[in-house]
Every structure is written in structure tokens, then in C-alpha cells.
Amino acid sequence: MKATPEDILASAETLVAERGFDRTSVSDIAIRTGVASGTVLYHYRSKEGILAELAQRHLVSLHMSCRSQCDREGTGLERLGMFIEAVFQHLRRSPAGWRIFFREIATNRLNGQAKLHEQLEAAGRLPLILLENLVIFGQGDGSIGPRDPYEVANAVWAVLMGCVWSVLFQDCSHSVMADNASTCVHRLLAGYETNPLETTHWERSWTCSGT
């Protein structure tokens, strides 16, 4: 069967997640896919182009998963819980994509590629925009207290990324870290609404027990 561009991306994702970007060559990707190196470059122009495509698909897929989950009925605070659930479901489905995101994209690997970097920045804003809209919705229904929605969205995202990182690189349990993320976010938001001093303690109680 003739290999497709999707097959090339699947091979690249596996190799980059396992070895890292620097230790994965176009030739490696071609051999794993069963095509010539020229075929890989015909479809994606460069190794950086492959990485950008993998990262963009990862971010768009994450956004779509979260948006679909959050379309259910509920308060803004409840929908934030749905967002958290969607992130960890996505992590279970796409651990390789998340590893690449943290190791290669979060370290600004493509900063020197202006067009690719711009595309990734746009895709990376999608989950944060969704989070910000959920906060605004929650403020409208009273489930989330008054605070800068952008600030809250970034704080929630930071909590989630810390928990996801712990699953991937510290062998923490998915379920334990999902529960920790939910607890931290609820404390953070409850602190905004009822007791601002509580927000200074949101990061405590993280644990990897239960792995």
C-alpha cells in the first residue's frame, strides 16, 4: 500500500516522541514510513515543517476535544471541570503529541522559523481563548467571581500544564493528577470568589501517589 502524508506524520510523531527532534532525521522518518527521503520533503519541505505540522495538529485537536466537551450544559465553573476532563482524556489518547509539545514546542524550537512560529502561536491561543470564554461565562452566571478572565485562564492553564507534565515525565497517575488539577482550579477560583487569601495556596497538595 502506498504511504500517505498521514503515514509520514505518524512515523515522525513516534520517532520524535521517542528520540527527540535533534536525534530524528528525515532519513529516519522515511525509512520508518517506507518511502524515499525526497518524498518526505516533497510533502513537508523540511524537518521543521514536519514538527510544526505535528504541533499544530496537536493543539487544534486539543482545542476541538475541549470545545466538544464544554458544549454540554452547565455553569461556567462546571464547564471548566469539563475542560480539565477533556485535557486528560486527550493526554490518554495522544501522549506522543504531548511529549513533543513539551520537549520541542514549549521550548520555542521554531522561533527562527517566522511563518511556522506564527502559525503555532495562533493554534496555541485556541485553548486559552476557550478557557477565557468559560471564565467570562462563569462570571456571568455567578459561578466564578470577578477577576481578569485572561489572568484566570492563564492560571488555570498553568495548573493543567504542570499536572500533564507530571504524568508524562514523573510517572504520575493520570487519575491522581486529574483530581489534583480539578482541586487546585476549584481552590483557585473559590479563592477569587470568597477568600482571596486562599489563592496563594493553590499549588499545595500535588502528589504522585497512586501511580
Residue 95: C-alpha distances to residues 101, 155, 164, 173, 211 (Å): 10, 23, 10, 13, 16
Q: Where are the domains of the chain?
A: 1-45, 57-201
Phi, psi of 30, deg, nearest 5: -65, -45
pLDDT at 74: 93
Residue range 57-201, CATH number: 1.10.357.10
Q: What is the mean pLDDT of the chain?
A: 84
Confidence of residue 203 (pLDDT cuts 50, 70, 90): very low
Does position 126 have pLDDT exceeding 50, yes or no?
Answer: yes
CATH fold of the domain at 1-45 = Arc Repressor Mutant, subunit A (1.10.10)
The lowest-confidence range among 28-32, 53-57, 144-148, 201-205 is: 201-205
Residues 145-174, mean pLDDT to the nearest whole number: 92
> Cell 504541533 belongs to which residue?
55
Nearest to 38 by CA among 26, 28, 50: 26
